[in-house]
Amino acid sequence: MDIFQLMLSKGFIQSLTAVQLFLLSLFMVFLAGCKSETPAQRPPVVKSSSSVQVLSSSSVEEADTVAVDTIVSNTVDVDSALSDSLPKEVDVQSSSSKSSSSSVASSSSLQEQVASCSSSEAALDTIVPVAIDSTLQEVALEQPPQEAPLDTAKDTVVTEEPPKDTSLCADVPASVLCDKRDGQLYRTVHIGPQVWMAQNLNYAVTNSWCYRNSLENCSNYGRLYQWTAAMNLDKVYSHSLAGNLIEERHQGVCPDGWYMPKDSDMEALVRYVKESNKTSGFAAEEVGTSLRKETGWEENDEEILGTNRYGFAAIPAGYRDANGSFAFLGEEADFWVAEEESNGTLAPHWNLYYANQTFSGEYRNLKTFAFSVRCIKR
């Protein structure tokens, strides 16, 4: 059985794919027409790394049965994309049961297209034999790149919470003054346009003391401060002028946002209390009586009792003198102001005394005395 009969055998044809049947029928037509022509040398088969190779038109004329053997032996699965390059007249079917009939239809249509081997080269160029590289076993479809999945996550705005206050004043209501330095709490009071501490300051610094060094007295009356300690200045200014170191709103030993009162602040307090007493029907009541706390003061023959009408709650904390002696607890209240005398050793202070009703800033004393401190809000 020659190669031509082998190619026409039923078993062989059924083993081929539609594309391979098309190629086989193409060459069968070509060989049938050219069998009587003078045999030529075997056409060179050019192989490359690509899936198919195209022979030139001059080589087509010289193809022989050896080329057919090469084509038949090199059967591969061809990508369905090759069907787009086939002539439109050929209906390629993938079913193996229809491969025989499709090969006959393809053969007859090709016989009409190719009249003879002596046709012009232009006619031969339309029917190009294809040699398949035997090393290629299958043509893989190049899958399109997968698009990145759309980010469906919604943008979220992260709002940072303010850091939690873990200080000593974290849970203290705003209506109460909390000294962040030591966590101590103080009542405050509005008196006219001013806001005052309603208790004596009790913040421990150098050159400040509890009365008779008793912590209980500090809890009840606050601390007693030398003038330089109250102003938060070096002790050297106990005997010399501080001058420009005393600011218009001088914080001194007071908590943040509060400052040491000046004479002008005390004078504004006295004026407001006097006017308010007049309009309220208490014109006969002196300022000292209105600012003094109801209890804690020594009794006196005049039976002068404090009314604490405005909530200032002045208490008789006494004082410590320049020699270190304590005196007048329960009888006297003295408050430093951010002022000093021209000699640099004396400073003014305001006084309340149990036996009278006045509140006066006419007093001067050594800066080394220790008196109480009341702060006023900025």
The full DSSP string for 27-92 is HHHHHHHHTTSPP-PPPP----SSSEEE--HHHHTT--HHHHHHHHH---BPPGGGGGGS-TT---
Does the pTM surpass 0.85? The reply is no
Which of 154, 164, 30, 24 lies closest to 92, judged by CA?
Answer: 24
Element (H, E) at 14: helix 10-14
Look at residue 234 and tell me whether its pLDDT is greater than 50. yes
More confident call, 8 vs 61: 8
Q: Buried (b) or exposed (e) across 314-327, using 16+ Cβ within 10 A? A: bbbbbbbeeeeebe
More confident call, 158 vs 365: 365
* Confidence (pLDDT) at 135: 46
The arithmetic mean of pLDDT across residues 340-367, rounded, is 96
* Confidence (pLDDT) at 167: 73
- Cβ atoms within 10 A of the Cβ of 365, count? 20
C-alpha of 213 from chain center: 52
Residue indicated by tokens 């049965």? 65
Residues 6+ apart with CB under 8 A from 106: 21, 22, 25, 26, 90
* Confidence (pLDDT) at 47: 42
Instruction: Extract the tokens encoding 78.
Output: 């061809």
The arithmetic mean of pLDDT across residues 170-192, rounded, is 93
More confident call, 120 vs 165: 165
Look at residue 91 and tell me whether its pLDDT is greater than 90. no
Residue 272 — very low, low, confident or very high, per pLDDT cuts 50/70/90? Answer: very high
Mean pLDDT of the chain: 75
Distance CA 26, CA 33 (A): 11
Residue 114 — very low, low, confident or very high, per pLDDT cuts 50/70/90? Answer: very low
Residue 168 — very low, low, confident or very high, per pLDDT cuts 50/70/90? Answer: confident
Residue 24 — very low, low, confident or very high, per pLDDT cuts 50/70/90? Answer: confident
Pick from 41-45, 217-221, 263-267, 306-310: least confident? 41-45
* Confidence (pLDDT) at 163: 65
The arithmetic mean of pLDDT across residues 311-338, rounded, is 98
* Confidence (pLDDT) at 44: 47
* Confidence (pLDDT) at 166: 62
More confident call, 372 vs 158: 372
